[in-house]
Every structure is written in C-alpha cells, then in structure tokens.
Amino acid sequence: MKITEPSFPWRPLLLVLLVALIARALLLASGAVSFHADEAVVGLMARHILQGERPTFFYGQAYMGSLDAWMIALGFRLLGESVLTIRIVQSALYLLVVAAGYVTAWRLSQRIGITVFAGLMQAIPAANTALYTTATLGGYNETLIFGSLMLALGYDVTHDYPRSAWRWALLGVCAGLGWWTNGLIVVYVLPVAALILYRIIYKPLAFSPQPSGEIVSSRVTKFSVLSTQYSVLPYLILALIAFFIGSAPWWIFDFTNDHAALATYLTNRQSGEFAGIGLPYIPPPQRAIGLLFIGLPTLIGLRFPWSPDYVLLPFGILVALIYIVALFRLARRPNPLQPDAHGLVLGMLSLFVIVFVASTFGADPTGRYFLPLILPLSIALATLQLSVKKFSLRTSVFSVPLGLILLAFVVIFHAAGQFIAASNPPGFTTQFDPVSHIANDHDAELIAFLDEHQLYNGYTNYWVAFRLAFLTSERMQYSAALPYKTSLDYNPADNRYPVYAETTDTADRIAFITTKLPELDAQLEQHFAAQGLTYQQKQIGDFIIYYDFLPNRPDQID
C-alpha cells in the first residue's frame, strides 16, 4: 500500500519569507545596528579576497572559517564595498536561514500549522537573533543554514530515504562546511549522529531497500538485522568522504600550521601567530548558571546581550513559561511531530546544554552561541497550538484557539523587543562592555579630521583600527597596539592584520587615538612628557587624538 505524502507548502513559505524581509528591512532602515571592528575585519577579508588573498579563517585566529567573507566578497563585487552591502548579504543569508528552518519544520512535522508558525518565530526573532544575523561576526548565518539542512537530511536518511546517495553526500558536505565555518555545528552533528546510530542499532529495517512510503511486513531475523546494518555502511562512508571534502580548508590549514586549528578546540588558548582572543576558564557550575540566567533569557528576548537588565520583565516571564510548557508538552506522548522527530528536537536541546556546560565556550553566555537553539525552540513552540487545541478564547462573536494566542504573544514580544532595542541607546550592538562600544556618530568627523591632517598611520585600539581601515578603504592603517579594557590589559592578538602595524612602525607622521580610557590617556601623556615631546590634542566624540609631535615621533608606549 502506497502512502501519499502531503505536498510541500510553498505559498506559506513565500509569505513567511515576505514577513522576514519586511522585518529585516525595517531594522536596516532604523540605522540602529552599530558597526564594529569584528564586522570590519570580515569586510576587510572580503576586500582582500577580491584583491587575490585567500584567508582560511578570521584574521589572527585558527577558527571561524572565511566562508562568510567569501559571501561578502561576492556582495562587494555586485553592489560595491560598504557597510550596507555587508548587511544586505547577511540579510539575504538570514532569509535562507528562515527558509531552511521552514523546510526542516515541515520535514519533522508534515503539518502546515507547525511549519508556518515555526517559520514566523524565525522571521520575527528576539533581538539577540536579529543582532547576530544582521551584524556579522564571521559565519553564524551560514552555520544556521547548514545546521538546519543537517536536521532535515538526517531525518530523511533515517526514515523515508535511507538509500538516497545524494542526501547522504549533502549531509556530509553540510557538516564539513559547517565545521570549517564555525565549531558550533557540533550541536547539530551530535543529535543527527545519535539519530542515525539509534536507527541502525534499534530499527535497522529503516535501511531496507523497500521504496519510500511502502508498508512492508517481514519477519525480523538476526541475519536480516545484521544485513541491513551493514547495508548502510557505504552511505556512511560516502557521508564521511563528503564531510572531509566540505571541511578541506580546515584540514589543509591545520596540517600546514602545526595543528593550530585543532589546538583551538582542545585548549581554546593558543600562542604564536594564531593566538586568537581565547576565553577565560569558568567552572562548569558557573557555566550552568550563565546558561540559565543569561544565555537562555537572552535567546528568548528577556534581556539584550549588551545589557545586564531584563526587558519587559512581566511579559518576558510569561514568554519563558510558554516555552517551558511547549517543551513539556512536546516531551509527552503522543506528540504532533513525525516518529522520532520529537527525540531529535529534544535531543538537540539536551546535547546543547551538555556541550555548553562541558566546553570552555560556556564562558561566554552573551547570546551568540545560543543561536542554534532558535530552530528547535521554534518547532517546540509551534507544536503548542496543537497540544492545547481544545482550549479557546470564546466571545459572543468569535473563538480563538489558545495555542494561537500564545504563539502570537511570543511573536509580538519579539517584535516589541526589537523596537525597544532600536529606539534606545546603544541600539543593537555586539559589544557587551560599554567601554568598548564606540558609537558610529562621529566616524565621519574623525575620518575628515585625520584626512585634513594627513594622519594615515598611528596607534589605537582594536575597535578603532579596523573600523577606520574598512571605512577608508585602508587609506588609514593604524596598529591595534593600545588596550581597550579598563584594566589596561593588552592582547597582542588584537593586531590581527600585521601589515597595519608594519606600515605604522615605518611612518614618519603618526597619531595616537584613544577611547573612553582616562587612565590610558594619563599614561600616554606621561610617556610623551618623559620623551620631551610637544603635541596637539583633539577630542571628537569618544575619540581623543594626539598628533603633531615635536621634535620627533614618539616611541610606542609599552
């Protein structure tokens, strides 16, 4: 007997994408998303790609692949080099994130209602998701796309299409490209691998050669189990080969750079050319606390990643309770998802918690590492409409299902959070330390001043150096040699592109540019006085410029 599968809901997908496009256009038009050095580095990488360079990873580190820079390079080729082009590329990628999530929700549910609502949850996300999918830090959108496709393909090859070679190959390629792009892909790989292993060991007839949709009655013997288990081996090998092809840039770099890429994930602290920034060691119990009280509230919109304060607290608590109820209902049987799909969704959430608490990346609970949870939480939330469908809000005129009211409340809460973030300082910012957040209000004035005085080289901090370089098409090349923390600690890895430091070291005319650090200003002024130098000083917004040194250029401060 042939089972007819429902047709894919294309028209609702177009509606969901239209909603996502309008929401993202409004965010871009608000001008509320600030431009910082991390994003500038990706833009500079894209610029250098068009000039012939071939970076493998984000400058100065051996992780976070350059795929995002390649995407932006294509945008630069088509639309020209600008911050707006970077944002347009990220917005286009986010539409693919929404589409991939929609496809995965359909694959795991085969229900239009769940699919559409899961798509809407992503189309109008919380401020955290809106921020990190608009201002690039180097590959988060691509990771979400590959991860969503992995969930859909993993379900395909373990249920209806076990002998589809191209699906196995694409699954491997997505895992490989994701591994090169961002190690976060592991939170997708683990649940998919667990599902494949489960189906091989406990339900091996899923890999029998019967066509998709046919119900087969057969006697399960030990021999048939073993034969079907071995029958999947060629497909596993195919997926593994595809993984190594997709992740080839990572492996080539690792083997030619003394295993620097591998060291990143083994220790998260390196030395030498690819030192990166590194994260401080935080004990697992503290990581768990950060997960519960910082990361998850940020993910659902209860707080912004750049602020310690909670947002719309009474409503946010209600949203958190809605998520909890949705997860509880999904864990119960029966549930509205396809067989094993609820295990895949809940398994991904559970494995994420384990990975976050167990790994050193749990030291950063600010929000960006929680982005992979968008899709499973959206699917869980979307199932709530069916789980509580017998409850409705009734009036004399109309009746509205309770599930629909709850989902609409969450979407409105997301939209309200974005509006509040865009309407209040500092707007949307990737900086969670106010000292390192430098508003873009005075960038043009600073550049005009530096041009007027021909101050194209000098010393500043990381957050100024690369922003200046990108905004001036590298006309201004400053060494990121000054600290930006109130402790005045300095990490040499901040000089991510050594060319700028080299040109500054040989320049005759230089400037020192500081921001928001009176202690550093005092040290610099003492340093200049000790060398018997006179100089001019100019303040523009948060920037303080020291220039026109006499009788000679100063030595760099230690």
> What would the pLDDT profile of 92-113 be if each residue is shown by its tens digit?
999 999 999 999 999 999 999 9
Mean pLDDT along residues 143-156: 97
**Per-residue confidence (pLDDT) for residue 314, from 0 to 100:** 92
One-letter identity of residue 20? A
CA distance 323 to 446: 46
**Per-residue confidence (pLDDT) for residue 214, from 0 to 100:** 46
Listing DSSP states for 375-418 in one string gives: HHHHHHHHTHHHHTTT-EEE-SS-EEEHHHHHHHHHHHHHHHHH
Radius of gyration of the chain (CA): 26
pLDDT band at 226 (very low <50, low <70, confident <90, very high): low
CA distance 240 to 289: 36
* Terminal CA-CA length for the chain: 79
Residue 511 pLDDT exceeds 90: yes
**Per-residue confidence (pLDDT) for residue 438, from 0 to 100:** 95
CA distance 527 to 508: 19
**Per-residue confidence (pLDDT) for residue 345, from 0 to 100:** 96
pLDDT band at 213 (very low <50, low <70, confident <90, very high): very low
**Per-residue confidence (pLDDT) for residue 219, from 0 to 100:** 47
Mean pLDDT along residues 511-532: 96
Lowest mean pLDDT among 124-128, 158-162, 210-214: 210-214
pLDDT band at 227 (very low <50, low <70, confident <90, very high): low
Residue 183 pLDDT exceeds 50: yes
Is pLDDT larger for residue 439 or for residue 227?
439
pLDDT band at 275 (very low <50, low <70, confident <90, very high): low
Mean pLDDT along residues 394-404: 66
**Per-residue confidence (pLDDT) for residue 367, from 0 to 100:** 85
Q: What is the dihedral of CA 17, 19, 20, 21, to 10 degrees?
A: 90
Dihedral over Cα of 439, 443, 449, 455: its sign:
positive
Residue 395 pLDDT exceeds 60: no
Mean pLDDT along residues 324-345: 90
Pick from 313-317, 323-327, 461-465 the range whose average pLDDT is largest: 461-465
**Per-residue confidence (pLDDT) for residue 358, from 0 to 100:** 86
Sequence ranges of the domains in the chain: 10-418, 440-550
What six digits make up the tokens of 472? 């001036």
Other Cβ atoms less than 10 A from the Cβ of 396: the count is 5
Write the CB contacts of 87 (distance below 8 Å, at least 6 apart in sequence).
Answer: 28, 33, 134, 135
Length of the chain, in residues: 558
CA distance 491 to 388: 53
**Per-residue confidence (pLDDT) for residue 387, from 0 to 100:** 72
Which tens digit of pLDDT belongs to each residue from 279-321? 567 788 888 888 888 899 999 999 999 998 999 999 999 999 9
**Per-residue confidence (pLDDT) for residue 340, from 0 to 100:** 92
**Per-residue confidence (pLDDT) for residue 372, from 0 to 100:** 95
Q: Among all chains, which residue has been given the structure tokens 């917005």?
A: 91
What six digits make up the tokens of 179? 């591994």
Mean pLDDT along residues 351-376: 86
Mean pLDDT along residues 20-41: 97
Instruction: State percent of the chain over pLDDT 70.
Output: 89
Lowest mean pLDDT among 134-148, 156-170, 380-394, 454-468: 380-394
pLDDT band at 352 (very low <50, low <70, confident <90, very high): very high
Lowest mean pLDDT among 54-63, 396-405, 414-423, 454-463: 396-405
One-letter identity of residue 357? V
Is pLDDT larger for residue 498 or for residue 281?
498
Q: Is the peptide bond before 334 cis (omega within 30 degrees of 0)?
A: yes
CA distance 130 to 286: 27
- pTM here is 0.92
When the pLDDT of each residue in the chain is averaged and rounded to a whole number, the result is 90
Mean pLDDT along residues 41-51: 98
φ, ψ of residue 116 in degrees (nearest 5): -65, -45
What six digits make up the tokens of 272? 């030498």
Q: What is the dihedral of CA 17, 19, 25, 31, to 10 degrees?
A: -130
Mean pLDDT along residues 30-41: 97
Distances (CA, A) of 344 to 282, 338, 348: 29, 10, 6
Contact 127, 418 (CB under 8 A): yes
pLDDT band at 538 (very low <50, low <70, confident <90, very high): very high
| CA nearest neighbour of 403 among 421, 414, 389 | 389
φ, ψ of residue 544 in degrees (nearest 5): -120, 120
CA distance 316 to 410: 9
pLDDT band at 471 (very low <50, low <70, confident <90, very high): very high
Residue 433 pLDDT exceeds 60: yes
CA distance 455 to 446: 11
Which tens digit of pLDDT belongs to each residue from 1-14? 445 668 999 999 99
Strand, helix or coil at 307? coil
CA distance 45 to 5: 46
